[in-house]
Structure 1
Amino acid sequence: MSDAAEKSKRPRVNVRRPEVMELVAAEVARHYQSSIVEKIRNHSGELTVGGTTVRLAQQFGFCYGVERAIDLAYAARRVFPESRIFLIGEIIHNPEVNRQLVDMGIVSLPWQEMNGSYDNLTADDVVIVPAFGAPTSFMEKIEQQGCYVVDTTCGDVMKVWRRVRGYAKEGVTSIIHGKAGHEETRATASRAQGEDGKGHYLIILTLADTDYVCDYIRGKVDKAAFLAKFQDAISPGFDPDAHLAHVGVANQTTMLKSETEEIQRRVRTAMVDRDGDAANFQVFDTICGATQERQDALFQMLDKKMDLLLVVGGYNSSNTTHLVEIGEEHLPTFFIRDASCLKSLEQIVHYDIHHKEEVTSAYSQLLLGDQPVTIGITAGASCPNNLIEDTILKVFELRGITREQLVVA
């Protein structure tokens, strides 16, 4: 048997070796941990110096799945120090973490579609699958090339895959609550087609999308109009007349739970209106536990008075965006990438999730002056603690409080 043939038999590789992971743990801690954040967490999550109070959510930042993905990526470089290492897209949605991997010589491959980069992979190369997973076509390609595969796909994502595969076997169409262009949703949709490729899916994002689907189920929408509206969010050969007969709801794991539940309720009601009962409707709770913990922690945090909320994370992070949506319902909320977005007491650079662009806002009436203020800080599951520390330090600095004063406090 040739070397290439032998390598094609063992595409998955275990890099979690004790001697490697000990070194990885130290390196990851050096890059991303924060003693200041841990001290504030141990101090009821709140710190007041002078007239400035910073309050942290009880749950924020890296979840287990993200930590595992980062650990495996770092371990891959140590296990394969001389090999070419590639990553499908981004390991997670955080610029700082992805920059660290680039500095380690890990090259990002296109994730929207495959190009010649995949044809150039060899049996000596290592390919990392990100925490979001990857579509089945990508996985088949890299295995055909015989590459070593380091799979960091989150366990919660794989639970969704098992559910939608089950739907496909039963002839049930997966209605996936998520963003059609998101890496995780694309990976889930590919599994919803089943092992034989004959399964079907429909991706919906908003409650307006849901109502449109429900109107079709009730016979109130033209078929051509339906197909035109969802042309980029349906499986090949999707026929709404046939494929909305039996449906099961699943979701991108990082969506807002309350919205997913409302989608489930509306679709079920439409099925009952059409069929007389819910026999042709299935549902399975596939919201990530860490996502829900961070949402619940923010709701709890909002029970106390705050003047301002900062949400820290990558602008393309779905779970972080939903934290912003929650915050905006209650108080001035700013979605910042990192501490550099806090330009001065007069200016905050932040991401407008509605217009999908970075903007600069003035908020001098709160931050200027000596009046007491309480600033809340939270972050999505892909944000490291070192970025939270930088944000805390910058907030106090802008209010005239030094790092040394913080350490004493």
Structure 2
Amino acid sequence: MSDASANAAPKPKKPRVNVRRPDVMERVAAEVAVHFHSSIVEKLKDRGGKVTIGNTTVLLAQQFGFCYGVERAIDLAYASRRVFPENRIFLIGEIIHNPDVNHQLREMGIVSLPWQEITPDYDDLTEDDVIIVPAFGAPTHFMKKVEERGSYVVDTTCGDVMKVWRRVRNYAKEGVTSLIHGKANHEETRATSSRALGEKGDGHYLVVLTLTDTDYVCDYIRHGGDKEEFLRRFEGSTSPGFDPDLHLQRVGVANQTTMLKSETEEIQRRFHQAIADRDGTDTAFQVFDTICGATQERQDALFEMLRTKMDLLLVVGGYNSSNTQHLVEIGEKSLPTFFIRDASCIKSLDEIVHYDLHHKQEVSSPYSELLLGDKPVTVGITAGASCPNNLIEETIVKVFSLRGVDHSELERL
């Protein structure tokens, strides 16, 4: 970073850019359809999500794939390139958690900026540059940095995420600590945590991920404990200056919008009970339902699909997609479940490459006993809210092709 850049006065703040012009969006719709649409998936939806050819049946969950918030974010990113054909366009991190979608944006010359921390790349931004804020949102200090540089801003933050921000800001205003159910290093949770500091920066938050974390905090709420041990355990998951003896007196629960609904509800219940046990009343506890509607719909649809007997379940999506990971967690409790990035992970009837959530790595597993031979087989397929239909189609085609069914038979549905 040059001295001139370091000492330059802040640029005037520009208003958010409206790129949703009718002429632009017509072109965007056509481009997005080319990249991500699937005629086969639409045909299966029209058939109730079930197709049987020969001795192979594929079931689609009733709700899967792109949600409205994701579609909007992608549309706005595509529109940005149409409205600013000659400008440099940058994206804070990834637009969504899907490698195929992010690859398409790179092909359009949209460059990802680091999202873990503000780097010198941000000092090089100019008034002519365009900054896309992803669907997860971005922490407040990132937004302030962009505003200082005077760049154009195209904000694709999901409306469900902004509802959570309003809730945690209110908590901070009322002197209530935000207990956030989420992954501390997830983009959305980091953005939410920054809003939990409030307008004056004096608010507080604590991020908890598991029921084990929750029980530890609940025990501290009821009985107190070793403050230093508490802070070591939750290092990186608390607001600056967090003191569990002070900041667990009045609490309000919020969450990363893509968490497992049942787990969030259980965490809410346990915190509620801990406050009531300590105080004899629950007046120091607040809660607000902030689970994303699309996340809930996809989880509910999978639970419904699991009532049908299936031989295996394929969950398609980016490995770093939180809502997709929770679909895998639901499925693997009932039947063999494979978390795949796309159809290329299905190598043959003898091998599937998939992401192991428990060991946090991609592994290769044999599954010949499930698909080899002539016996009837039923394969369930679902996908997270950030997975495009073209990847789901490719998975359907791959399953049928390995079972001896030609692609043309699916086209004739």
TM-score by length of 1: 0.98
Match of 2:400 in 1: 396
Partners of 1:368 and 1:190 lie apart in 2 by: 52
1:168-247 pair list within 5 angstroms: 168-247=172-251
Q: Deviations over 1:125-164 (max 9, x none)?
A: 0000000000000000000100000000000000000000
Partners of 1:23 and 1:407 lie apart in 2 by: 26
Q: Deviations over 1:42-95 (max 9, x none)?
A: 001100000000000000000000000000000000000000000000000000
Match of 2:38 in 1: 34
Match of 1:132 in 2: 136
Partners of 1:342 and 1:227 lie apart in 2 by: 44
Partners of 2:333 and 2:134 lie apart in 1 by: 32
Q: Deviations over 1:311-363 (max 9, x none)?
A: 00000000000000000110000000000000000000000011100000001
Match of 1:262 in 2: 266
User: Does the 8 Å contact 1:11/1:143 carry over to 2?
Assistant: no
Equivalent residue letter for 1:327: G
User: CA 1:6 to 1:248, structure 2 compared with 1: closer, same or farther past 3 Å?
Assistant: closer
- 3-state SS of the aligned residue for 1:159? helix
Q: Deviations over 1:91-130 (max 9, x none)?
A: 0000000000000000000000011000000011000000
Partners of 1:7 and 1:89 lie apart in 2 by: 23
Point out where structure 2 has 5 or more consecutive residues left out of the alignment.
1-7
Name the Cα RMSD after superposition.
1.2
Match of 1:353 in 2: 357
User: Does the 8 Å contact 1:8/1:147 carry over to 2?
Assistant: no
- 3-state SS of the aligned residue for 1:218? helix
Partners of 2:362 and 2:183 lie apart in 1 by: 20
Match of 2:3 in 1: none
Following superposition, which runs of at least 4 residues in structure 1 exceed 4 angstroms of deviation?
4-7
- The answer to whether the aligner puts 1:272 opposite 2:276 as a matched pair is yes
User: Does the 8 Å contact 2:66/2:387 carry over to 1?
Assistant: yes
User: Does the 8 Å contact 1:94/1:383 carry over to 2?
Assistant: yes
Match of 1:407 in 2: 411
Give the CA deviation at 1:407.
2.2
Match of 2:92 in 1: 88
Partners of 1:327 and 1:180 lie apart in 2 by: 25
Match of 2:4 in 1: none
Match of 1:314 in 2: 318
Partners of 2:20 and 2:411 lie apart in 1 by: 36
Give the CA deviation at 1:11.
4.0
Point out where structure 1 has 5 or more consecutive residues left out of the alignment.
none
User: Does the 8 Å contact 1:339/1:394 carry over to 2?
Assistant: yes
Give the CA deviation at 1:220.
4.9
Give the CA deviation at 1:225.
0.6
Equivalent residue letter for 1:80: F
Give the CA deviation at 1:7.
7.2
User: Does the 8 Å contact 2:257/2:291 carry over to 1?
Assistant: yes
Give the CA deviation at 1:406.
1.8
Give the CA deviation at 1:24.
0.2
Partners of 2:331 and 2:338 lie apart in 1 by: 9
Match of 1:341 in 2: 345
Equivalent residue letter for 1:35: S
- The answer to whether the aligner puts 1:8 opposite 2:15 as a matched pair is no
Match of 2:366 in 1: 362
Greater shift in the superposed pair: 213-222 or 19-28: 213-222
Partners of 1:209 and 1:5 lie apart in 2 by: 45
Give the CA deviation at 1:6.
11
Which residue among 139, 147, 154 is the counterpart of 1:150? 154
Identity %: 76
Match of 1:330 in 2: 334
- The answer to whether the aligner puts 1:79 opposite 2:83 as a matched pair is yes
Partners of 2:141 and 2:13 lie apart in 1 by: 18
Match of 1:64 in 2: 68
User: Does the 8 Å contact 2:40/2:393 carry over to 1?
Assistant: yes
Give the CA deviation at 1:12.
1.3
1:95-106 pair list within 5 angstroms: 95-106=99-110
* Aligned residue pair count: 406
Partners of 1:279 and 1:25 lie apart in 2 by: 49
User: Does the 8 Å contact 1:11/1:146 carry over to 2?
Assistant: no
User: Does the 8 Å contact 2:214/2:270 carry over to 1?
Assistant: yes
Match of 1:378 in 2: 382
User: Does the 8 Å contact 1:8/1:123 carry over to 2?
Assistant: no
